[in-house]
Chains A and B, each alone.
Chain A
Amino acid sequence: QQQVKQSPQSLIVQKGGISIINCAYENTAFDYFPWYQQFPGKGPALLIAIRPDVSEKKEGRFTISFNKSAKQFSLHIMDSQPGDSATYFCAASGNSGYSTLTFGKGTMLLVSP
């Protein structure tokens, strides 16, 4: 069964600190790994995504690190700000035919001022 395991469930970080959220997957056919950000009362929105041909992707303060051999990937938020407080979902999808996204259970991030 396709599965993506996300940790921690919740995270409190001080302003200016580094937030780290981890995900692990089992299906070696997965080849697309996006992160979605969701603010209260809103739908999720794509934050950043990576494919297995690179080990790291950076967009501003957000970085995905990818470890193909360990089947793990993580989101790092540098210089975390109160405006980053949201729920973050990792996800994965495969490369065989039509493949839907499988989401992790989410991490609620609170950045304290």
Chain B
Amino acid sequence: NAGVTQTPKFQVLKTGQSMTLQCAQDMNHNSMYWYRQDPGMGLRLIYYSASEGTTDKGEVPNGYNVSRLNKREFSLRLESAAPSQTSVYFCASNGLAANTGELFFGEGSRLTVL
């Protein structure tokens, strides 16, 4: 059982380039999330999708877009990467509302923007 799978694991971009981080879960969860983790800043929510067909902004959405492709997949897109977007990105999912269920995280995608 793979759980939450993120690709790629590592990526180096130049300023202004675009890229998409992919996330897929095989637990039939309704809700999916994208977080970024920076030293001393904890985990900050970028976007989330409470259910298939819906997406909402989190705490730090600027510079990002998301697509809930189907129930399994939730992608995060950087249209024009900036050095401030250098971070480790985590996708997560859970089967119930966040206030009642465990979040399952992927292993992260480490992005460097030069």
Contact = CB atoms under 8 A, between A and B. Distances in A.
User: Helix, strand, loop or mixed for chain B's interface?
Assistant: loop
A101 interface: yes
A31 B99 contact: yes
B40 A43 contact: no
Contacts of A99: 97-99
Interface in A94-113: 94-95, 98-101, 103-106
B105 A43 contact: yes
A104 B42 contact: yes
Contacts of B42: 6, 89, 103-106
A46 interface: yes
Interface in B1-52: 4, 33, 40-45, 48, 50
Interface in A39-56: 41-46, 49
B58 interface: yes
Interface of A: 6, 9, 31-32, 34, 36, 41-46, 49, 89, 93-95, 98-101, 103-106
